[in-house]
Amino acid sequence: MPDTIFDRILRGEVPNHTVYEDEHVLAFLDIGPLAKGHTLVIPKEAKAHLHELSDESAAAIGRALPRICRALIEVTDVDQYNILQNNGARAHQAVFHVHFHIIPKPDAAQGLKVGWPVGTLDHDEASEMAARLRELTQS
Ligand code: 5GP
């Protein structure tokens, strides 16, 4: 996988404001925050997309996220926030090393703004799709 800015951060070549670190995970403040406290949580494992991540890294991130959220709530005094995780350029991923954004939402003007173009569910199609997905996720 080509080197990214986050690999350079992990190697200590680029400075960052670390907020959490363990064997598998590093979290640091985003350089272009959408709100004060905007944090990036990354696996130390070098994978571009979430679906490529090992169970070990995924579990470590799952453990770390709520802990970091609790600390951010305490420090920013903002208890509403979004978790954002982009995969692929079309999905707004700019850095191709897995990362979760924690973005505090202090008010309507700051933080993440989300477009949510609601569709309708075709239940026949949904039933087929869900069955196929159950097959794949349980194997
Ligand atoms: P993406 O669009 O890939 O989900 O988000 C990449 C994020 O990485 C952006 O929010 C951007 O501000 C952040 N970022 C890019 N380069 C750096 C850097 O050198 N340091 C830090 N702390 N954040 C970075």
Q: Is 101 a catalytic residue?
A: no
**76: exposed, middle or buried (C-beta count within 10 Å: 0-12, 13-18, 19+)?**
middle
Residue from 97, 139, 135 nearest 10 by CA = 97
Q: Which atom of ligand 1 is nearest to the CA of 28?
A: 22
Q: Which atom of ligand 1 is nearest to the CA of 93?
A: 3
**Is residue 85 lining ligand 1, measured as CB closer than 6 Å?**
no
Rounded to whole angstroms, the Cα distance separating 22 from 33 reads 23
Rounded to whole angstroms, the Cα distance separating 21 from 69 reads 14
* Residue 129 token pair: 């799709």
Q: How confident is the model at residue 2 (pLDDT cuts 50, 70, 90)?
A: confident
Q: Which tens digit of pLDDT belongs to each residue from 10-50?
A: 999 999 999 999 999 999 999 999 999 999 999 999 999 99
Q: How confident is the model at residue 122 (pLDDT cuts 50, 70, 90)?
A: very high
- The fold for domain 5-114 equals HIT family, subunit A (3.30.428)
Domain extent listing, the chain = 5-114
Q: Which tens digit of pLDDT belongs to each residue from 71-116?
A: 999 999 999 999 999 999 999 999 999 999 999 999 999 999 999 9
Q: How confident is the model at residue 1 (pLDDT cuts 50, 70, 90)?
A: confident
**What integer pLDDT is reported at residue 81 of this predicted model?**
98
